[in-house]
Amino acid sequence: MKLYSKQQMIKNTLTGILAGAICASAAFFAVQKNLKSENSEKTSQTQTGDVQNQQNSEKAEFVEEVLPQKNIVTPAASPVSQYTQDEEQNIFVYEKCNEAVVNITTQVMGINWFLEPVVQDGGSGSGSIIDERGYVVTNVHVISKANKINISLADGTSYPGTVIGKDIESDIAVLKFDPPENVKLKTINFGDSSTLKVGQKVIAIGNPFALERTMTTGIISGLGRPIQESANVIIRNMIQTDAAINPGNSGGPLLDTKGRMVGINTMIISNSGSSAGIGFAVPVSTAQRVVNDLLKYGKVRRGTIQISPVQMTSSIAQYAGLKINYGILVSQVKEGSSAEKAGILGGTKPVQYGSRFNPSTIYLGGDIITGIDGINIRTYADYTSALESKKPNDTVTVTVFRNGNFEKIKLVLDGIDTDSESRGTSL
């Protein structure tokens, strides 16, 4: 064991204290140096940032001077409809017009097994309200032989209908019902059928198979079609459409895309009795003229040729020794009529014609009408349809077959209130 003196112990103690003090001083100065270095870096970064901010600011001011900023307007998003334009068009027309389409049902008188008269259900069809007072336009065949007419509205109410007038030659009838004073009826306006084009979209509303206010759409497939509706009636200038028209649609409106009536649905051509894509409508130009006369006079005022017409046949031509077997034989001409003044000749040779149980007397030797204003006349239906649109005092050119030659004669039509059942007799 090593022993130290007192002096040595004091010396060692002082040496340790001095060494500690030196180490502490060295550590203090090292810390201060690090602090100064960090502060210097921060100051440098701050100065650098200020310089960059100043440069960016100057650059921004330069850009604003060279390229001035514009306000950016973001358009508001328009609401997107859930329907196509075509669908919206269909919906518009239906909502505008469907309440003006009525269902027409009839009752007729029949005979039961005991030969007793009984009331039976007749036909049914459609019609359009054309006046707030309760006037309805429809087809004549819809109310044919009806003893009672019932008109049903969109709200389910029904009213008895009366016939104001009917015109068989155009198959148009006007009915009337009396709504309560507090009921405001919706109506359908007449359009213009003279501006129609093949390919134009049309809409039909009616009551097919008793399904009330059914809408179908299609296009105009043809214009100016002459369609023979019955033995003695040809309706000219019919509108052909592929819009589905079925039994019960008759009398309903054919509409354009603005909801205006351009025709009255009348008939279809079909082997099955259902729609085959070939339907026909009376043009509204004809309907409007007929309706105006029916409302004013109760019948249509047309220009007439005051003769007794007879349908030419092969047997008449053979018996009379004529070269043609078509046209309208002029049996007699009314005395003092425009036809007589124009030089139309009636027959002079009376003969019995018809069945043995119902013979008629006709006169041979007169003119045979084969044309009116360029329209070929082969049948009685041709004859009546050629005069359908003519008014009293209109001048027409009549082509006649006389003495083996064709001649043209101009005459002024007489003005007599007539309907298709009183314009002459087809034998």
Considering the candidates 126, 141, 338, 419, report the single residue annotated as catalytic.
141
171 an active-site residue? Answer: yes
Give, for 90, the enclosing helix (H) or strand (E): helix 85-97
Question: b/e map of 283-297 (b: 16 or more CB within 10 Å)?
Answer: bbbbbbbbbebbbee
Residue whose C-alpha is closest to residue 212's, from 90, 120, 132, 94:
94
Considering the candidates 250, 331, 389, 420, report the single residue annotated as catalytic.
250
Amino acid at 221: S
102 CB neighbour count, 10 Å cutoff: 30
What's the length of the chain?
Answer: 427
Considering the candidates 124, 128, 152, 171, report the single residue annotated as catalytic.
171
**How far from chain centre, in Å, is Cα 241?**
10
Residues in Cβ contact with 311 at an 8 Å cutoff, skipping those fewer than 6 apart: 328, 329, 379, 380, 426, 427
Helix, strand or coil for residue 307?
A: strand
250 an active-site residue? Answer: yes
373 an active-site residue? Answer: no
Angle ∠(389,405,370) on CA atoms, nearest 5: 20
Strand intervals (E) in 231-358: 233-241, 253-255, 261-268, 279-283, 301-304, 307-311, 328-333, 349-354
Catalytic positions: 141, 171, 250
